[in-house]
Structure 1
């Protein structure tokens, strides 16, 4: 983090963000929302809100604005120095996480249905075709946001929303693959600067009796930060695979999968306590011993709808050595069938032995195991090692001293560029599919066909298949508990794609999930943070039998329906989200 601090500081300095009265008078909301327009809110109301939160109301402009000569079709000066900084770091996740106006999937910075936004070419941020003669438009970025530093800031925002009917959106790090952290003409709530961390040798949740070794993190803390902090305290924090994901936000409330989940469970299994401001204005502590209904809902019900998390406390594990395999090969027509047979035929036993990881394009996998010795790991993965040798691939199996050592090598050194565009879709494939000969045959045939047509699949193997779970303890779809693979697909489009081209990409993913993935697992579900954006039965697919109870809890803590996001619990429907295209 320190290495990038100067860059991040520069990015924050070159983009105007502090609220001035002239900004309030000059900004016109984009048409299309059924809620009260921002123009109906008086300057005095904004001034009063700003005063109530210590001057932390901010003006948000698109990230790449300094590179453009037009802003909302009004001529503005190009800032060459600021533009160069932005171009140089446009695809850096560590730079993007420091700015309210950025997402990792940048189509959600735009209003796709209205074809307005402000994007550079992520394949070549210096490409002049992205900026020459093009207007940088506000898109779906909230014109104003609150830089949250305390629960009282959130309470003031909820009071403001209730009085003015302005919609609210909640953003942390921008790892939102469904666009739920953005809403047209909303007031944004940015939790990134809630940066506290504390280690507890013995943590007892409020009003409970049992103590645990734990770490408490503020809502804005990322996995890179907490993994280092945990390692320094001789413990292991179970979390996600991208360094810039927030540990307390949508990752946690949507389930929280990890490559260590087969052994240690999902994030919702490990959270001990959540401090949150609910839309009724109350700052609450939710755990198993108080506000337990809310605690249940927050463990799987999804972010952006039950309130704004201030901090969360998580069970941690002792710092132990791990075994890992990094296997690569070049897929060909001669070896694909054999590889997928090895993968599918062994996945159930590998999951039971504690292996989790990712099957990765262009060909191979990275798996990690906290249970086995090095010799046991080599024996467990012997078929893969032999396969790689036969096809001039590699299969390195080694011991890492700790999770942080594994994270540093495989995640930090292999950080993937962000700022790309395109939808995701997924399905949880149940273990039973892998346990019958007919199921394995069906899946292998699908994988071979899919690879020849769409490319090698990216598959997170991150379900809690070997974790001892108490039934009904969380609000996730039960499909997580019987699933073995979180099998995904994606499509891409370019920064300047037309509405029709964008619609075609989303349709490709939607049709693939409906026609190819769902038949593989018709009674299963999907991960609500990486599912099909246009999932036709989202209530059952994401929550199964838990949705009715979740909706009741939502109504209890958000009686005025102040929070709403795309296909979340209590979703108001597409009319409130006009930037999503229609298929």
Structure 2
């Protein structure tokens, strides 16, 4: 919605230090070249009551929204939504504008409930250059309007969703290039590298890399931004066991810090900020406009293991035990992938086909004995694997989903007793099982201690284990709290299994009780010092980010309180 409609902008509950006038917003719009917009909820065209006003539903637009409600590519192309729709709502007050994810044409969703703004930022800037970000920081500093930073809308924590904020939408920073001899600013060594704008999704990055006969190590979802929260939070890949996390491979960032400066951060220039950005998380140290990442200077052949079978309660537990028994060996061999209770998908860049078949023989035997299907085969490149296996298996979109996770260290897999305890814990919570991601940098050999700010627990972990639970469009606030409490309890059970480990901050329990240590280990005090250096006024804040102001701050107003 263009700025001319600002007079119709929806009311928001945040109290600003200085309430901006229409003239203030118009001045900001002029400063950013007319790219300040108002945002109304994604599904508002289906409703007859929008933020307390009676309106006529726009049926043609509503039909389009219903058709694409679960389409990640469609959602990522627009500002006013998230892949997990609870972050469009204000959960603490149950203000939302949601359709029924299981049947988007179910009219009960828009006849029984009104459409309310929820946590969608009512104003946003379509960021096209770093000066837009500087203007946003100046505006926030002058008015007290909070800021939120959104890329593609993949966010399990709601950190890019702040009620009443001015949104900074980086999705259209789409520049991408390859340099076979990239030299970081201030450095003297060269590297094969790709420079990727903040808005470039992984699918586009993979297409570009393949066209240049190089391999970039990245995420599994096609629409996740390659230079956004994925990277800033650590960035795991099923190639990470051999090639490291995203933060192990990044060479340079360009960003605007909250003090208004456009900066380069690398090992030579602003090295403290560079370290903080390598795992300290998005939404707090600044707004990244691009990153430059080391690539492998060739297409890498991969061995692929893909198996599935129709699991029962008993066979799923037996298969889980088999996974636990073999996972340490697989980690040492370089396998990375996703393990389920009814199968797996894994890749290996180190073994040849015969070795891969031998490594997976016990899985082959198990799956065949249960009338399942499977293959161990060679593909010529990561991109070939991505097209064949990943694009056809994307996660559910347009749902309300919460998760919890834990990094499970190698020590758990070295003991039969510990493995049994792990299997029992997971089996007892089987309805909440999401996935076992073998994406840890277990045999990555180019890591220097303390070179990144992620929790050191990543380095010895074999599994990144995840639970999940869902709720529906008409679930009450109490019902949502019950889901989060269940996941809190599951987090505690996993912590009992691995008390000295940690969690991946991008895919963790929203209410992780020991979040500073779980996400960053002993790195948090240093991260906080960097935060205070580059954001002395605390302009950027988000839920359980470095420097978080706490649950009573207005930025956190839409997170329901747990008992």
TM-score by length of 2: 0.97
Contact 1:34 1:575 in 2 (8 A): no
- 2:345 matched to 1:380? no
Determine which of 4, 12, 24 is the counterpart of 1:30.
Answer: 12
**Structure 2 Cα separation of the partners of residues 64 and 360 of structure 1:** 33
Aligned positions, number = 558
Q: Which runs of 4+ in 1 moved over 4 A?
A: none
* Structure 2 counterparts to residues 400-439 of structure 1, below 5 A: 400-439=379-418
Contact 1:359 1:457 in 2 (8 A): no
- 2:475 matched to 1:497? yes
**Structure 2 Cα separation of the partners of residues 340 and 538 of structure 1:** 28
1:459 CA drift (Å)? 1.2
Task: Look up the match of 1:102.
Answer: 81
Unaligned runs of 5+ in 2: none
- 2:19 matched to 1:19? no
Instruction: Note closer, same or farther for the CA distance 1:416–1:340 as it changes in structure 2 (3 Å cut).
Output: closer
1:449 CA drift (Å)? 2.6
Aligned to 1:302, what secondary structure does the other structure show? coil
Unaligned runs of 5+ in 1: 1-16
1:336 CA drift (Å)? 3.3
- 2:248 matched to 1:269? yes
1:69 CA drift (Å)? 1.0
1:437 CA drift (Å)? 2.3
Determine which of 352, 357, 364 is the counterpart of 2:337.
Answer: 357
Aligned to 1:294, what secondary structure does the other structure show? helix
1:133 CA drift (Å)? 4.8
Instruction: Render the CA deviation track for 1:342-361: whole Å, top value 9, x for unaligned.
Output: 21111111011110000135
Instruction: Render the CA deviation track for 1:98-154: whole Å, top value 9, x for unaligned.
Output: 010110100000001111111111110000001125321111101100000000000
* Structure 2 counterparts to residues 78-93 of structure 1, below 5 A: 78-93=57-72
**Structure 2 Cα separation of the partners of residues 78 and 163 of structure 1:** 37
- 2:468 matched to 1:484? no
Instruction: Note closer, same or farther for the CA distance 1:108–1:389 as it changes in structure 2 (3 Å cut).
Output: same
**Structure 1 Cα separation of the partners of residues 182 and 273 of structure 2:** 20
1:291 CA drift (Å)? 0.5
Task: Look up the match of 1:564.
Answer: 541
Report the aligned-residue RMSD: 1.2
**Structure 1 Cα separation of the partners of residues 318 and 40 of structure 2:** 51
Instruction: Note closer, same or farther for the CA distance 1:131–1:457 as it changes in structure 2 (3 Å cut).
Output: closer
- 2:174 matched to 1:192? no
1:332 CA drift (Å)? 2.4
Contact 2:16 2:143 in 1 (8 A): no
1:457 CA drift (Å)? 4.3
* Structure 2 counterparts to residues 308-387 of structure 1, below 5 A: 308-317=287-296, 318-360=298-340, 363-387=342-366
Task: Look up the match of 1:552.
Answer: 529
**Structure 2 Cα separation of the partners of residues 491 and 543 of structure 1:** 25
- 2:555 matched to 1:573? no
Aligned to 1:444, what secondary structure does the other structure show? helix
Instruction: Note closer, same or farther for the CA distance 1:169–1:457 as it changes in structure 2 (3 Å cut).
Output: closer
Task: Look up the match of 1:473.
Answer: 451
Contact 1:104 1:420 in 2 (8 A): yes
TM-score by length of 1: 0.94
1:24 CA drift (Å)? 2.9
* Structure 2 counterparts to residues 71-470 of structure 1, below 5 A: 71-317=50-296, 318-360=298-340, 363-451=342-430, 454=431, 456-468=433-445, 469-470=447-448
Instruction: Render the CA deviation track for 1:283-316: whole Å, top value 9, x for unaligned.
Output: 0000001100000000000000000000000111
Aligned to 1:371, what secondary structure does the other structure show? coil
1:25 CA drift (Å)? 3.0
1:455 CA drift (Å)? 5.3
Aligned to 1:205, what secondary structure does the other structure show? coil
Contact 1:384 1:395 in 2 (8 A): no
Task: Look up the match of 2:512.
Answer: 535
Task: Look up the match of 1:5.
Answer: none
Determine which of 502, 506, 529 is the counterpart of 1:525.
Answer: 502
Contact 1:422 1:505 in 2 (8 A): no
Contact 1:427 1:527 in 2 (8 A): yes
Contact 2:42 2:81 in 1 (8 A): yes
1:334 CA drift (Å)? 4.1
Contact 1:220 1:247 in 2 (8 A): yes
1:250 CA drift (Å)? 0.5
Instruction: Note closer, same or farther for the CA distance 1:34–1:44 as it changes in structure 2 (3 Å cut).
Output: closer
